[in-house]
């Protein structure tokens, strides 16, 4: 039972599970805020019903996400104490701000939003959900600020063998953060949008509250298209940034062992042999890698063997090549899922423009139900590529993953907690799916109950209600 491998598996599994909920919360919060804005501006009660209905799914998702996030952060102290001891003064600051500012802001205004219907004025109530949306986005900013430090350490100095922050502004203006944050948040907007369009397509197919879900679908598909397209643009910028800051990761993502030719072709698929450090079969598109790397159809790209020699000179002996197959294929899965999201968004908006969103487009509506999974696939594959491609580093250039684990934690302990967490997460997933299905089946129309006056002398009202 290798403690390092088990700790990595546990961190990967808990992070992936937690990251199923985070993008949904961010995306749904924005869309619900837009729906309620339209209600306040237009005075159309249908948009109020939309905000309330999708708000139920948001609240269920938010509650489960909070639970999984708590376990996620505890792991830094449990399994990765050497890492926490080394970078705690830097890494802990954005995490603390996220918990004390952004998360408390979300929680406070979620409470006001839930219980403020009919109690707060329309504009104040609307402000609450917008502050929730801003809070969820700012939570992502601070978490990604911490992650960006791991990818590109800035704003610190080494003192007594520990990294200590000496420039907070450098930390929050990290170039890695400036390309990673919009890419991640826009992916979250797309996740919420595809959830709404998928559920709406299912209800439209079943002819249940057709007009209600048609409105939801229209809003969702527009946000899905815009956010998916922008994700691709910022993803392109992030890849170009990584060519300069983490060239080994990008070389692994292309399975590029030797320096490329000029102009460099992009490898679509390859049969990778990491033991012999070669590709046995490749399908390439000429010029494309040069364009993706430099926005021009010329320029070569360093290969992993050349970078390995450079890293050995800089950091000392060691194997600095990450798991190539995982990095290579996770990148392509992300790109494929993202591209399909753009195509579906374009087609959905085209149907909407031509007023052909009806039950006749059965194949498209059914596909949109399954398309709910696409942003989850893209988000997960992108995260795997980002983290696996950084190996063997926990903090790039400063600390390896092997040196980051807790020295006093045994493999058996990690295995036990891994099994326990997996069981808990399985139960949480079942409960969440059950609640989602229950809310979706019930639909937007709540049961109407008679509200009897509490005034015992109001005989006239009681008589009217009983009639």
The domain segmentation of the chain, as residue ranges, is 3-246+327-387+409-442
Mean model confidence pLDDT for the chain: 88
What pLDDT score was predicted for residue 461?
40
Residue-level pLDDT at 315: 92
DSSP state of 296: S
Which pLDDT band, with edges at 50, 70 and 90, does 463 fall under? very low
Residue 359: what pLDDT?
64
- Confidence check: pLDDT of 447 > 80: no
Q: Is a pLDDT exceeding 60 seen at residue 313?
A: yes
Q: What is the mean pLDDT of residues 301-306?
A: 90
- As a whole number of angstroms, the distance between CA 385 and CA 380 comes to 9
Cα-flanking dihedrals φ and ψ of residue 167, to 5°?
A: -155, 90
What integer is the mean pLDDT of 415-442?
Answer: 89
Confidence of residue 126 (pLDDT cuts 50, 70, 90): very high
The answer to whether residues 270 and 228 touch, using CB atoms and an 8 Å cutoff, is: no
Q: Are 315 and 397 in contact (CB under 8 A)?
A: yes
Mean pLDDT value across residues 261-284: 87
pLDDT reading at 356 higher than 90? no
pLDDT for 189 equals: 96
190 or 106, which is more confident: 190
**Predicted local distance difference test score (pLDDT) of residue 449:** 35
Question: Is the pLDDT reported for residue 257 higher than 70?
Answer: yes
Band the pLDDT of 39: cuts 50, 70, 90: very high
pLDDT band of residue 89 (cuts 50, 70, 90) is: confident
For residue 454, is pLDDT > 90? Answer: no
- Residue 466 scores a pLDDT above 50: no
The answer to whether residue 58 scores a pLDDT higher than 90 is: yes
Rg (CA), the chain: 25
| Cα–Cα distance, 138 to 126 (Å, whole number) | 18
Please state the rounded mean pLDDT for residues 338-342. 95
pLDDT at position 384 over 90: yes
Return d(Cα 465, Cα 467) in angstroms, integer.
Answer: 5
């Amino acid at each position: 039972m290798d403690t390092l491998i088990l700790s990595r598996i546990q961190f990967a599994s808990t992070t992936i599970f937690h990251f199923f909920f985070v993008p949904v919360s961010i995306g749904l919060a924005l869309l619900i805020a837009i729906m309620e804005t339209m209600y306040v501006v237009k005075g159309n009660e249908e948009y109020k019903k939309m905000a309330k209905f999708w708000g139920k799914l948001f609240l269920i998702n938010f509650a489960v996400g909070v639970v999984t996030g708590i376990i996620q952060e505890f792991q830094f102290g449990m399994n990765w104490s050497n890492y926490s001891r080394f970078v705690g003064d830097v890494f802990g600051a954005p995490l603390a701000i996220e918990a004390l500012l952004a998360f408390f802001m979300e929680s406070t205004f979620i409470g006001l939003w839930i219980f403020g219907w009919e109690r707060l004025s329309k504009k104040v109530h609307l402000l609450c959900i917008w502050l929730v949306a801003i809070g969820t986005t700012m939570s992502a900013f601070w978490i990604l600020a911490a992650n960006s430090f791991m990818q590109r350490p800035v704003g610190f100095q080494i003192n007594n063998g520990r990294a200590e922050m000496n420039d907070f502004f450098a930390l929050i203006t990290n170039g890695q953060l400036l390309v990673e944050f919009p890419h991640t948040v826009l992916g979250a907007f797309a996740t919420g949008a595809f959830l709404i369009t998928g559920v709406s397509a299912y209800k439209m197919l079943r002819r249940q509250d057709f007009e209600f879900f048609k409105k939801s679908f229209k809003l969702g598909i527009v946000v899905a298209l815009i956010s998916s397209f922008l994700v691709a643009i910022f993803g392109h910028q992030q890849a170009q940034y990584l060519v300069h800051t983490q060239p080994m990761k990008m070389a692994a993502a292309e399975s590029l062992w030797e320096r490329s030719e000029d102009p460099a072709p992009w490898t679509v698929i390859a049969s990778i042999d990491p033991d012999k450090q070669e590709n046995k079969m490749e399908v390439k598109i000429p010029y494309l890698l040069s364009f993706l790397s430099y926005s021009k159809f010329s320029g070569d790209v360093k290969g992993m063997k050349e970078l390995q020699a450079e890293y050995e000179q800089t950091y000392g002996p060691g194997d600095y090549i990450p798991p190539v197959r995982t990095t290579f294929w996770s990148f392509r899965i992300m790109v494929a899922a993202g591209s399909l999201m753009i195509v579906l968004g374009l087609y959905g908006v085209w149907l909407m423009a031509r007023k052909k969103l009806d039950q006749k487009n059965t194949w498209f509506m059914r596909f949109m139900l399954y398309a709910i999974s696409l942003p989850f696939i893209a988000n997960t594959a992108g995260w795997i590529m980002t983290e696996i491609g950084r190996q063997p580093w926990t903090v790039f250039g400063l600390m390896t993953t092997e040196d980051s684990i807790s020295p006093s934690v045994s493999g058996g302990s990690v295995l036990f907690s891994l099994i326990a967490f997996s069981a808990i997460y399985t139960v949480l997933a079942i409960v969440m799916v059950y609640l989602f299905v229950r809310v979706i089946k019930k639909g937007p129309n709540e049961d109407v109950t008679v509200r009897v006056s509490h005034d015992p002398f109001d005989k006239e009202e009681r008589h009217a209600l009983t009639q």
